[in-house]
Structure 1
Amino acid sequence: RAQVADELNKAKLERLKIGTETAFITAEALDGLLLEIDRALLAFHAADPTATGIATSALRDRIDRRLSPKAFDAILEAAVGRQVAVVEKGQVRHPKAAVSALAAESEAEEKLLPLLVQQGLAPGTVSELAAAAGVDAGLARKILGRLATAGAIVRVSSELHFSAEAMAGAKARLVAYLEAHPEGAPASELRAVLDVSRKYAIPVLEYFDTHGVTKREENLRTLRR
């Protein structure tokens, strides 16, 4: 083993940490893979200047789908170290590209989140939010999805998103009311508790049914115990 280790140290090999194991690759092969990553990312951004990155799995398919996800992650780590790639939240981008797209996303997020907070339990649809914020509807949908994943907002349906603050307040009001009325209450009564129209009350109530806060039996809702 000592002799093998000595030979490996003498050879022009690069070490890659793959999970708990160490793999070896020739410097030439690694350089070739990093060059392919560089070219693939530049081509990706050239084809879609508005994109902020490509999914790691999609990039792996473009480079060599025979590579295991863990092996490709190790190669990506080397790419990041050599400033060939930037990896963020499961996406990969070229460090020299996507600057304008990232700025547009940041600006959209800064507009959409305060807007949802302001609208409380009566938010606009995705297209209405996009129009109010002055951003593209597709970009708005992408940002809303990211905010929902981060927990800043709550996605109730494909078109309805509420600020986390508004939903926390709604939950507190419902729980307090139903604790005082253990026999349950109909949707019309709970709509008055939430002080919103039926358009918003029903999706919100169904959300809390699904997430274990309330349960519906015929026309009444009670707290789920």
Structure 2
Amino acid sequence: MLNPTRIEITAQTKAFIGGAKGTIAVIIATNSGYQKKAGTPCRGKFTEGLLDCEQIFRTLNIKPGLTILDAGCGNGYMSKRFSNQVAPSGKVYAIDRDQYFIKSLHNETRETHIVAMQADITGPTLLNESSVDIIYISTVVHIFSKPQMQGFLREVKRLLKLDALLAIVEIEKKETPFGPPLKQRYSAEELKEIVPLVPIDTVKVGEHFYMQIFQNKENQETTRICYRAKNL
């Protein structure tokens, strides 16, 4: 029998859990699924405790020496786990627009392999061109406007090395106990239509989550998808 487990998830954006901005959703895991309860204002990370991190590491082949960008890192819980995997010679860039998250993460991770930066992935960042092996972004792209999505795709293309990976984790586009309206979500097939990279795999990484992986390879199909992205 599954014992109820409470996982506090901040509704930083109304889009993720359908709640008011700045409130907590308490997800209670039971045999019948997840239940959401309202709470008080707090900051946190939406997916902490809900994703199969080991599956993510295996699928992305996280190993020492890699440079990973955790875009929209929140409190940095995934950045910290990535850092453990890429040590001693790798690096994790953890970026978020929220100054609170970045300041806290910077203070927690001094003298580690994590570089915490306040930045917006939908526009140019201070990172060097072709400097990243993996860009990881979790439950973020569904809140992008069309111009923001275009900016995100341009910056992804600029930052990734040749043959490098983009991993997008999103909530499934079907009825779930929490999440944004279905019309706001992306299915894996919809992401494949707009991301200007080569789709290589779709992996289930949680009860209600999938990870779509793309690779930075130039070919005719990529050019076709890139054209579609420009016309979002």
TM-score (normalizing by structure 2) = 0.19
More strand by share: 2
More helix by share: 1
TM-score (normalizing by structure 1) = 0.20
Highest relative contact order (Cα 8 Å, sep 6+), 1 or 2? 2
Considering only CA atoms, is the larger Rg found in Structure 1 or Structure 2?
1
